Structure 1
């Protein structure tokens, strides 16, 4: 399989603001300066989809989706209602890019935390149109399956048995658009679980990737971020934890979901 790499434009990246650089004078967050934003495609309240001012990848159209006005916000601390609106808004933007037929493929993902590969703290997602590359060449349907812990109302959730990188990835599959709110709830609960319970709460960073599935629907894949294992870096070989560990993770996540549901019901 021939897979051309994405070309990174260093000259553009040099001027890009970065929240995690070890400098005394941090750059002013551009996403907090709403009045100065330009090239806005769509906006709903604090949610803003716009063109990326620092397109560091050649032969792409890079866009940013600002999630909220709170500089330190995240899926983990949004209200249930706000998170539902956010995921619906983002899904709509993603569908518009895909349906435009302007790109070979469209990627949708989110970085969170210092080890996620992101550059800015302010909560945002990225939607990137690739002109000449199929960004899903290394991905297949098996990456979205695993030990099922929830399968109701158009949403299926599992712990991946064939992860993209490893060792433990959570797949939250939207099977039908009617279940989009439940899907958003599971994404939020998955993020809370990943940051507080999984790996004894050692993860301070994660990636959230969204994949359109061949059978229809979309998979939201949650990946805790640590240093990438050498087998993946050197050989593109993913690793996965043993079957007993994965089964225990599925059981714990299901229990965490039920606990969170009780908390949400009490708050309502």
Structure 2
């Protein structure tokens, strides 16, 4: 078994509903009475087994964030934001603790360039039986220009981005959820969708559990550059200091 690649089941993949572009497609997450294989519920938040497990040798779950199909993480109330992140992180770490997987990935797609298929706000928690995703991560991609640091939470803009250009990082020690973590995560998403210097309607949110820290990487998504696809060379823009200062001005100078 090749442990560097995930295998995608195309016969299942062609069955998946898609309504990010196909607006006529009904949303399966809105029809809550028909949801099956529910694992946990907290109000409008639901964790369930993925009905379309396209990844082989993996345990796939979906975290439905809210019952509002038109909602978005950047506009959640503080109460719902913190409940959601607590819920997701707890179930992600619990899956890790079972010892059944080489690694467990926790991520979110939003928008047509994110790689997602459904517009309804959701995340995914996936246990990988034979791939340790941590082996593919260089700690340097989480370092960068400090935008804000308080209450044990560090918010940065990457100076060595994993894919290239602009990547935000929010990190905290894994001793317990800190609300500042969720707040900074939300700020990064809000900035991407509202104030970004280039029109951005898509992003990914990736959670990592490395060396006793919980780290969220928030990445605005555009068409991926050919230098990265063809040669694996990330590009670093020359206006990182300006962007970090702009986020500080917009979100922290009033604090």
Provide TM-score, normalisation by structure 2: 0.95
Whether the 8 Å contact between 1:88 and 1:180 is mirrored in structure 2 is no
In 1, Cα distance between the equivalents of 2:176 and 2:47?
24
Whether the 8 Å contact between 2:62 and 2:123 is mirrored in structure 1 is yes
Q: Which runs of 5+ in 2 are unaligned?
A: none
In 2, Cα distance between the equivalents of 1:131 and 1:213?
18
SS in 1 for 2:55: coil
The residue aligned with 2:127 is: 129
Question: Alpha-carbon deviations, 1:181-236, whole Å to 9, x = none?
Answer: 11001111111111111224x1000000011122x121111100000011111122
The residue aligned with 1:227 is: 223
Question: Alpha-carbon deviations, 1:101-141, whole Å to 9, x = none?
Answer: 11011011000011110000000000111111112322121
The residue aligned with 2:232 is: 236
1:116 matched to 2:110? The reply is no
The alpha carbon displacement at 1:21 in A equals: 4.5
SS in 2 for 1:198: coil
1:138 matched to 2:136? The reply is yes
Question: Alpha-carbon deviations, 1:36-56, whole Å to 9, x = none?
Answer: 111111110010011000000
The alpha carbon displacement at 1:258 in A equals: 2.0
The residue aligned with 1:203 is: 200
Indicate which of 219, 243, 250 corresponds to 1:249.
243
SS in 1 for 2:156: strand
User: After superposition, where does 1:61-100 map in structure 2 within 5 Å?
Assistant: 61-100=59-98
The residue aligned with 1:17 is: 17
The residue aligned with 2:210 is: 213
Whether the 8 Å contact between 1:42 and 1:49 is mirrored in structure 2 is yes
SS in 2 for 1:137: helix
In 2, Cα distance between the equivalents of 1:128 and 1:206?
19
Count of residues paired in the alignment = 254
The structure carrying a bigger helix percent of its residues is 1
In 2, Cα distance between the equivalents of 1:230 and 1:3?
26
The residue aligned with 2:25 is: 27
Question: Alpha-carbon deviations, 1:66-97, whole Å to 9, x = none?
Answer: 00000011111211111011101111111111
User: After superposition, where does 1:163-182 map in structure 2 within 5 Å?
Assistant: 163-178=161-176, 180-182=178-180
In 1, Cα distance between the equivalents of 2:236 and 2:221?
14
The residue aligned with 1:106 is: 104
SS in 1 for 2:70: coil
User: After superposition, where does 1:155-166 map in structure 2 within 5 Å?
Assistant: 155-166=153-164
Whether the 8 Å contact between 1:153 and 1:179 is mirrored in structure 2 is no
Q: Which runs of 5+ in 1 are unaligned?
A: 263-268
